[in-house]
Homo-oligomer: A and B are copies of this chain.
Amino acid sequence: MAVRLKDIARDLGVSLITVSKALRGKNDISEETRQRVLTRMAELNYRPNMLARGLASGKSYIVGLVVPDLLHPFFAEFAKSLNGVLRRNNYGLILASSEENPELEQQEIQNVLARGIDALVIASCQPALRGFYGIEDQSTPFVLIDRDFPHLRAHFVGTDDYAAGRLATRHLVQVGRRRIAHIAGPDLSPSADRMRGYKDELTASGILVRQSYIISSSYVEELGEVAGNRIMRKLLDRRPRPDAVFCYNDLTAIGAMSAVMSAGLAIPDDIAFVGCGNVRYSEHLRTPLSSVDQSTSELGEQAGKLALELIGSDCTAPRQIRLQPRLIIRASSQKSAPPARGTSVGKGQSSGRIRSSSRR
């Protein structure tokens, strides 16, 4: 078995307690004994048993993360970034996936809570109508990410999706499009907010919002790419035919663009595209895809910091952190060859700026 505190204590002729205190930097230990203990620990390659520590202290130094799909580049990047913050603060990460299944999500939440996690970070896939529940009554602090549930008064870190919708739509208007369609996502806050942005921007530009130009995909039904393809074929039948599409995410856009090309139409000449999420490959696609970037890794950092902060202090007022998105313009929405790596067009000057506010 591994070396324990007891072993070091016996080895050094001091009490177990003294060793424990030296390890944890308590200040009722003389500097001399602390050094004796610490060097011996290093020699014996001592590692505290975190299970025991967790049980005794009530703190596990683990944060739980529940995402709908690790394969989605957004969540992968988010997880990586979150993991970095946690590691730098000596926290571990326990990961669970809901596979976009609300029941499974509930179960996984219970599972990670049973592990004694100190905080939970979660992108919930509970239907917006039903909302999110199950942790509010627990004492473990939690941070919602990406998908907000406004009536919950919970901590949230995510993108300003309303701004994303306006940004994308405004760009399409500015490049001269008028018949702008929208492929929406599942009925959750990011999709809903982006759609609101889309509609508001159209209205602000004096363009009528047509319901026939808006079609929703849904996660449960099928994957984004396939859904995008299917929905785009429907949109191509609309009269007058759309001359631009703002897609809920890049994967959907990829599917939609492939439908357009199959139909023998040109991008962006016949139909322009803007996606959302700016996944890594978007600039290398058959037609490089314009997309709204949401600084995912910054989101992970913010969520991690917030979670760690919440572990210390209890029950602060719900904090909302929404990062401003920025538009990356590529060939799918602009005829003239754009600069190689895409051009950044944000609301302000600096990218990924943060607007933080206490709700209510």
A359 interface residue per 8 A CB criterion:
no
A 47-69 binary contact with B (CB < 8 Å = 1; else 0): 11111101100001010000001
Nearest-Cβ distance from residue A356 to partner chain B, whole angstroms: 26
**Cβ-defined contact, A60 with B70, below 8 A:** no
Residue in chain B with minimal CB distance to A64? B92
Do residues B47 and A110 form an inter-chain contact, with CB atoms below 8 A?
yes
**Which residues of B lie under 8 Å from residue A281 when comparing CB positions?**
254, 279, 281, 284-285
The reply to whether A92 and B97 contact each other, CB–CB distance below 8 Å, is no
Q: Which residues of B contact A112 (CB under 8 A)?
A: 92
Q: How many copies does the complex hold?
A: 2
Of A79-87, A164-172, A241-249, A311-319, which binds chain B?
A: A79-87
Q: Which of B73, B111, B254, B285 contacts A92 (CB 8 A)?
A: B111
Task: Give which listed residue, B2, B50, B80, B87, contacts A69 with CB less than 8 A.
Answer: B80
B97 and A95 form a contact (CB under 8 A) = no
Interface of chain A residues 248 through 299 with chain B (CB within 8 A):
254, 258, 279-281, 284-288
A337 at the interface (CB under 8 A from B): no
* Chain B residues whose CB sits within 8 angstroms of the CB of A79 once the complex forms: 70, 95
Q: Are B62 and A70 closer than 8 Å at their CB atoms?
A: no
Provide 29 A-B residue pairs closer than 8 Å at the C-beta atoms, listed in order of the A residue: A2-B113, A2-B138, A47-B110, A47-B113, A47-B114, A48-B114, A49-B116, A50-B115, A51-B51, A51-B54, A51-B55, A55-B55, A70-B80, A70-B83, A73-B73, A76-B76, A83-B96, A84-B99, A87-B96, A87-B108, A92-B96, A92-B115, A93-B96, A95-B95, A279-B281, A281-B284, A284-B285, A285-B286, A286-B287
Q: Which 8 A-B pairs have the closest CB atoms?
A: A281-B281, A70-B80, A47-B114, A76-B76, A51-B54, A51-B116, A51-B55, A95-B95
